[in-house]
Chains A and B, each alone.
Chain A
């Protein structure tokens, strides 16, 4: 990291470097792009993976925090910060040309904090309507409902986007661009559509059956969870994490628990770690089964869908017996787990493992080698490794493009450094690679559970915590491998029992942001099939 520090100081002489847990660099807005570019192109250790882009209201300043990581070693992280004190018309420079994933994130920051980004090609508000009054995440936001009354009027879709571009002389030009051509045949896939897996809206320009352009509209179920969290204590916030990506509810919750535990220096008992890891992996199998089922359903195989649900039911039953919940299981709490495992838990899980292996073989026979299924998946929706990194596509989809991005391997948490498992990587980058990755990851999860299930130590399941948990002043990052990719939590604490700023990294948002790229030129049926292979969950995007 010393080399990196030198590199930063060589590039930007007045950069403020802080040696925290993660190297933190603060620069002026006009220097940030150069610094990010230098770090990205640094050959020895390229910081080319934009993990999080967090809009901030520090009170006197508005700004952005970038968490960068190296795509070759995800544990190497660096934090960049920049900000402006102009609260009326805050302008920062976009990094969209360096990291494509910044595009949607910057639009989100604009909607929620009102910061506009120069050179972002499409500066519409994400999540919120263009006519929304105020910027919710600003500390001086007026949440009076009269300012933003509920409208029952039908609003015409306007396919134009404002943007601010900088020309060669350094002058800023505000302009409006058309998203579609005048004679494009546009259909709305969503917000109510069986295959968008939720309330997602793709405005799609078609040429016959061929997709020409996709414009993503999001926010139909945006709940402002990050804003709500600012008024709640940490144990209260836990419930929100379940409702982000509800299919990896337990894993999301694990992430927030770990973040708070690390910050408050709470030691989690061994038994709780074992239970957490086993539950996480069961949750992963559950989620991958549903993803498999939905993908087959998107390709038109209804029976395979039901087979997936059949096996998933057994896991849900185990969850139900453990803690009463099926989808959202409320198992993790700060300091451990809420419920101990029941008497026959080990027996049930051990019966499930060989059963699931048998069923995986059945899936192979039934669907994986089906000639129509192969024709619908091989070579469809190709995502290159470079694009996967640039769009920050992690999880089975990122690993299907040959990018080793499993946080469980790169930054082991819980018990993942003690168990043996393989990171499944395929280099084809098509729908089929993503499909196979999920099935193989189910097998790996079974393997992990197998190693843990007989060795659960006796002891406490919950560490003693204070009645009111207050985190010391500071910034806390936590990254975790959820079912769809890297889930992340960022907490900025000012020493209160509530966070000053809470941010969740949503893996699904990256998956959706890459859809316009990989679906271009594919048939509309393949657009649905690719969507199935990406397996995004909408509430995860619409936090």
Chain B
């Protein structure tokens, strides 16, 4: 297949040029640094784009204009905001546990950055391809909660404390559901590596492949992923109308910026994992036998597919966030422990039966297998 816009060519050209001119050690070093810089830059730029997109989309939902003063259609608004938040004073607060107070935002941002590194953004655009990618992502992303708990506890503020405790309960609960939903797909694909998962979805996305069971898992993953990002209707830890700002009430300037950044990136991370696991990741839409059509689809580069699919999920998440009122903590936990978790457990069982009995779509129609 011709893939003219793909970054593969550029990257392999860079690699061979470097290898031709210097020893392997230096080549690797340079490449590591480049990858790290590229990831950090992508992290920041994505956050800026997401913030702008959210503000515009929210304005659309709410019959408003949104940012429209800085630059055309206000596109420079987020950048202005970033500059502002970088210049803001970090207010020193008395009677806080200084070390933990300062450490908390880093837990948040480091956790989300670690997860960010393991996401396959496109063909060859995959910083680390673990053979246990799913497990790694689930494990690392749950580190963020430590930041929330520390922030709430060290702030020495009752509102923050309540927010952090809510967050703890919520995160632990919904992590279960999210994990189980991903496990359902692991059962289906038989692998925990993201790249292999994507390769297996060439003709039939996982959400179709495991039909009933996959769709249930997808919906549950969206709900619990949404809950993990602490966004409405699950924004109890912040709950601005109840707890003013919850666990990050006492933070200002860049420290608050870290929480803010992590929140937006978490939204992106959840959407991109859902894309990778359920919607074929960066794989273009392919129909077996229709080579012409497939070729046309490949002209669209893989990263565009990835960001497109992720964008749809993010839009969905914003739609939900700006439509529903907030749940109460007991309703939230009821939803998880009384409904989602039992459904999930049964769902895994169904998936096991589907796979063992050969009832998945790829089993039924071998033409769909990669």
Contacts and interface: CB of A to CB of B under 8 A. Distances in A.
B95 interface: no
B325 A296 contact: yes
A296 B323 CA distance: 11
Contacts of A300: 232-233, 235, 239, 241, 324-326
B96 interface: no
A193 interface: yes
Contacts of A310: 63
Contacts of B162: 187, 206, 209, 524
Interface string B309-331: 00000000000001111111111
B325 A194 contact: no
Q: How large is the interface on B (under 10, 10 to 19, 20 to 34, 35 or more residues)?
A: 20 to 34
B244 interface: yes
A203 B312 CA distance: 45
A306 B62 contact: yes
A370 B233 CA distance: 12
Given A523-B330, A525-B236, A528-B241, A301 B325 contact: yes
Q: How large is the interface on A (under 10, 10 to 19, 20 to 34, 35 or more residues)?
A: 20 to 34
A303 interface: yes
A302 B232 CA distance: 10
A372 interface: yes
A82 interface: no
A195 interface: yes
Interface in A182-238: 185, 187, 193-195, 206, 209
B89 interface: no
A521 to B, nearest CB: 13
B154 to A, nearest CB: 18
A523 B240 CA distance: 16
A310 B241 CA distance: 20
B58 to A, nearest CB: 8
Nearest to B330: A523
A261 interface: no
A525 B325 contact: no
B242 interface: yes
B324 A370 contact: yes
A303 B323 contact: yes
A187 B162 CA distance: 10
A529 to B, nearest CB: 8
Contacts of B328: 375-376, 523, 525-526
Contacts of B159: 187
Interface in A17-34: none
Nearest to B236: A525
Contact of A372 (B236, B324, B330): B324
A301 B324 contact: yes
A372 B62 contact: no
A370 B331 CA distance: 14
Nearest to B245: A194
Nearest to A531: B241
B130 to A, nearest CB: 38
Contacts of A367: 325
A306 B64 contact: yes
A301 B232 CA distance: 8
Contact of A194 (B63, B64, B158, B244): B244
A299 interface: yes
B238 to A, nearest CB: 10
B293 interface: no
A222 B61 CA distance: 39
Contacts of A185: 158
A297 interface: yes
Given A300-B233, A310-B63, A525 B323 contact: no
A245 interface: no
Interface string A292-318: 000011111111101100100000000
A373 interface: yes
Nearest to A375: B331
Contacts of B326: 299-301, 372, 376, 525
Nearest to B166: A209
Contacts of B324: 300-301, 370, 372
B241 A372 contact: no
Which residue of B162, B327, B328 has the most chain A CB atoms within 10 A of its CB atom?
A: B328
B325 to A, nearest CB: 4
Contacts of B330: 209, 523
Contacts of A306: 62-64
A393 to B, nearest CB: 23
A111 to B, nearest CB: 29
Given A195-B241, A528-B241, A301 B329 contact: no
B244 A193 contact: yes
Interface string A266-283: 000000000000000000
Given A187-B158, A375-B331, A525-B328, A303 B61 contact: yes
A370 B64 CA distance: 23
Interface string B136-166: 0000000000000000000000110010001
B263 to A, nearest CB: 16
Contacts of B62: 302-303, 306-307
Contacts of B241: 194-195, 297-300, 528
Contacts of A194: 240-241, 244
Contact of B323 (A209, A301, A376, A524): A301
Give the 8 A-B residue pairs with the shortest CB-CB distance, closest first: A300-B326, A299-B325, A301-B325, A306-B62, A195-B241, A187-B158, A300-B325, A303-B322
13 contacts: A194-B241, A297-B241, A300-B324, A302-B62, A307-B62, A372-B326, A376-B326, A376-B328, A376-B331, A524-B162, A526-B328, A528-B241, A528-B242
Interface of A: 185, 187, 193-195, 206, 209, 296-304, 306-307, 310, 366-367, 370, 372-373, 375-376, 523-526, 528
Given A298-B241, A302-B62, A528-B242, 6 more contacts: A299-B325, A301-B325, A303-B322, A375-B327, A525-B242, A525-B328
